[in-house]
Amino acid sequence: MNAAPLTDFSRLCVHTITTKPWPLAEAVKHYAAAGVKGITVWRQALEGLDPAAAGRMIREQGLTVVSLCRGGFFTAATAAGRREAVSDNLRCIELAAAVGAPHIVLVCGAVPGQPLAESRRQIAEGIAAIAPAAAAAGVRLAIEPLHPIYAADRSAINTISQARAICRQIASPWVGLALDVYHIWWDDALEQEIAACGREKSLFAFHVCDWKLTMLDPLNDRGLMGEGCIPLRQIRGWVEAAGFAGFHEVEIFSNLYWAGDQHAFLARIQEAYLGSV
Amino acid sequence: MNAAPLTDFSRLCVHTITTKPWPLAEAVKHYAAAGVKGITVWRQALEGLDPAAAGRMIREQGLTVVSLCRGGFFTAATAAGRREAVSDNLRCIELAAAVGAPHIVLVCGAVPGQPLAESRRQIAEGIAAIAPAAAAAGVRLAIEPLHPIYAADRSAINTISQARAICRQIASPWVGLALDVYHIWWDDALEQEIAACGREKSLFAFHVCDWKLTMLDPLNDRGLMGEGCIPLRQIRGWVEAAGFAGFHEVEIFSNLYWAGDQHAFLARIQEAYLGSV
């Protein structure tokens, strides 16, 4: 059953990458002025800034830091590479704690040519290695299953089912999932998988955008909600039925929208949010 | 475990679409001269030809007709559209029987914006509608799961698991699967799913090509075997362990290769077949 239409922006979160041309302070100011209540901060938006001060600045504008994007990329051909990935993720956890993000999103990684089974083993090992630090810092780790189109080089975790298996293996309340409709909408078991995340208390985050029929770029041509074929309201209904009550995060990588006026884009995001999510 | 390297072309089949610039008679002549033993005929290669005569011509050159590509596209927004799809598939079965193809490959269809669950229902209904005619004609129906990247507009059947569910539902020995590495390589249950096809006697066809890391076109930039990241020899090992003893069909859609010399391309296919499949 479809969710009821949304009527306000109290649960709307925008990812800084969505309005990439805006530096963090600009994004915060404009989101706040538009009535957006949540922000997911990408690491590159924090470069050169003091993260604790950035977090205070965000909260002072009335915004909630929903998440830090992103950690992960645990796979590497060498043990040294994998150790470096763990170190980087430990720094990411510290950064999340400093900025005040309750969780970090993990894009898990894949090494072109490396067997997927080996990448999957390395990913589980990497997450297990950082889970104690995450728990100690009070930062949750949200595994984001990525669309199979990215299996070769971005993430060998391509379904909710796979991500849940890692969660069961690690068995920490600090490890769960970030569900992005772009990556999971095609899954024929989607409703049941989302319900399972609810039962397992592992549904940490919900990202929205749309899947366009004609994609000009495999990575940076995501659609605004309503521009594509994802049944957003149905999926939100399943997510809410699973007990999720967090923010709806708008994460759009788009060469097209990044090239345009960001104020106009933010207005379109808000319109699309009410009309299609 | 990887399969043993191939040492000859006795099980090599090439799809006419792979060398699209060649009309059927040219393709047959050049495949035969190169020692290729199988050919999968695309419907457009038969346009304007008498299919029975084309089948005889192929066999006289010492080639086996491995398959007819392709039927399917059962989904439509209207009942009339779905009836027309069934009619078209019945014509495809007749064509396969006339040319002497033991099976037809089904690309099942999807309607942009139509819920995937509805498309899946329509697909199962369409296949059930044509299965008796297929049995009567002695032509098998091979459902090809398509990569989730095509879920919006080409096929709502995106995993082996889904295709097997339709096979179980229809429960006809004339309905099985065509497995193309391009579509299924990312599946974390791939080995088990292939084994299940073996147990269920539903593994009808095996297609090879490769998944390139940088894709210039979402449809027509497939790689030659060895150019990408698919573990071809491992997957062939699983297919053989499942009891498959048919042809290895090279199906490559490639604007790049279509634009080049087809003799040189065929030579590269044969080299890649021995080196990478």
Contacts 24+ apart (CB under 8 A), B17-21: B17/B42, B17/B45, B17/B69, B17/B251, B17/B253, B18/B250, B18/B251, B18/B252, B18/B253, B18/B257, B18/B269, B19/B262, B19/B265, B19/B266, B20/B258, B21/B258, B21/B262
Q: Give the model's confidence band at B95: pLDDT under 50 very low, under 70 low, under 90 confident, else very high.
A: very high
For chain A, say whether B226 makes contact (Cβ under 8 Å).
no
Residue A149: closest CA among chain B residues belongs to which residue? B149
CATH label of the domain that carries residue A180: 3.20.20.150
Average pLDDT over residues B105-111: 98
- Is the Cβ pair A149, B149 closer than 8 Å? yes
- CA A102/CA A139 separation, integer angstroms: 5
- Is the Cβ pair B215, A218 closer than 8 Å? yes
Average pLDDT over residues B130-143: 98
Q: What is the pLDDT of residue A216?
A: 86
pLDDT at residue A214 greater than cutoff 90: no
- Is the Cβ pair B186, A158 closer than 8 Å? yes
Q: What is the pLDDT of residue B169?
A: 97
Average pLDDT over residues A174-203: 98
Residue A11, domain member (yes or no): no
Residue B29, domain member (yes or no): yes
- Is the Cβ pair B211, A152 closer than 8 Å? yes
Q: What is the pLDDT of residue B217?
A: 87
Q: Are A184 and A205 in contact (CB under 8 A)?
A: no
pLDDT at residue A253 greater than cutoff 80: yes
Q: Tell me the three state secondary structure of residue B197.
A: helix
Instruction: Say which of B112, B117, B186 has its CB closest to residue A229.
Output: B112
Closest Cα in chain A, distance from residue B136 (Å): 32
More confident residue, A263 or A2: A263
For chain B, say whether A207 makes contact (Cβ under 8 Å).
no
Average pLDDT over residues B118-139: 98
Residue A4, domain member (yes or no): no
For chain B, say whether A145 makes contact (Cβ under 8 Å).
no
- Is the Cβ pair B186, A113 closer than 8 Å? no
Query: Is the ipTM, as predicted for this complex, more than 0.90?
Result: yes
For chain B, say whether A35 makes contact (Cβ under 8 Å).
no
For chain B, say whether A158 makes contact (Cβ under 8 Å).
yes
Q: Which residues of B touch A151 (CB under 8 A)?
A: 185-186
Q: What is the pLDDT of residue A178?
A: 98
- Is the Cβ pair A218, B213 closer than 8 Å? no
**Which residue segment(s) compose the domain that B159 sits in?**
12-276
Q: Give the model's confidence band at A155: pLDDT under 50 very low, under 70 low, under 90 confident, else very high.
A: very high
Average pLDDT over residues B74-88: 98
Residue A194, domain member (yes or no): yes
Residue A9, domain member (yes or no): no
Q: Which residues of A touch B234 (CB under 8 A)?
A: 115
- Is the Cβ pair B188, A116 closer than 8 Å? yes
Q: Are B93 and B139 in contact (CB under 8 A)?
A: yes
Average pLDDT over residues B133-147: 98
For chain A, say whether B148 makes contact (Cβ under 8 Å).
yes
Q: Which residues of B touch A115 (CB under 8 A)?
A: 231, 234
- CA A178/CA A160 separation, integer angstroms: 9
Instruction: List, as one string, the DSSP characters of B132-165.
Output: HHHHHHT-EEEE----GGGTTTTBS--SHHHHHH
pLDDT at residue B5 greater than cutoff 80: yes
pLDDT at residue B251 greater than cutoff 90: yes
> If you search the block for the tokens 């549904």, which residue do you land on?
A203
Residue A182, domain member (yes or no): yes
- Is the Cβ pair B148, A148 closer than 8 Å? yes
Average pLDDT over residues A199-210: 98
Q: Hey, what are A35's tokens? A: 């009535």
Cα torsion A253, A257, A262, A266 to 10°: value is: -70
For chain A, say whether B229 makes contact (Cβ under 8 Å).
yes
**Confidence (pTM):** 0.96
Q: What is the pLDDT of residue A218?
A: 84
What digits encode the pLDDT tens for the residues A98-149? 999 999 999 999 999 999 999 999 999 999 999 999 999 999 999 999 999 9
What digits encode the pLDDT tens for the residues B199-229? 999 999 999 999 999 888 889 999 999 999 9
Q: Give the model's confidence band at A171: pLDDT under 50 very low, under 70 low, under 90 confident, else very high.
A: very high
Q: What is the pLDDT of residue B93?
A: 98
Residue B121, domain member (yes or no): yes
Strand B64-72, strand B38-42: pairing: parallel
Closest Cα in chain A, distance from residue B253 (Å): 17
Q: Hey, what are B206's tokens? A: 């095996």
- Is the Cβ pair A116, B148 closer than 8 Å? no
Q: Give the model's confidence band at A215: pLDDT under 50 very low, under 70 low, under 90 confident, else very high.
A: confident
A161-180 residues touching B, CB cutoff 8 A: 161-162
Q: Mutation test of the interface with chain A: which of B166, B229, B238, choosing the one with the most A Cβ atoms within 10 A?
A: B229
Q: Give the model's confidence band at B30: pLDDT under 50 very low, under 70 low, under 90 confident, else very high.
A: very high
Instruction: List, as one string, the DSSP characters of A69-97.
Output: EEEE----SSHHHHHHHHHHHHHHHHHHH
The single-letter DSSP state of residue B242 is T
Average pLDDT over residues B244-258: 97
Average pLDDT over residues B168-186: 98
Q: What is the pLDDT of residue B256?
A: 96
For chain B, what is the domain count? 1
How many percent of chain B have pLDDT more than 90? 96
What digits encode the pLDDT tens for the residues A5-64? 999 999 999 999 999 999 999 999 999 999 999 999 999 999 999 999 999 999 999 999
Residue B7, domain member (yes or no): no
For chain B, say whether A243 makes contact (Cβ under 8 Å).
no
Which conformational region is residue A233 in: left (phi greater than 0), alpha (psi within -120 to 50 degrees), or beta?
A: alpha
pLDDT at residue B277 greater than cutoff 90: yes
Please state, rounded to an integer, the average pLDDT across all residues of chain B. Answer: 97
Closest Cα in chain A, distance from residue B70 (Å): 22
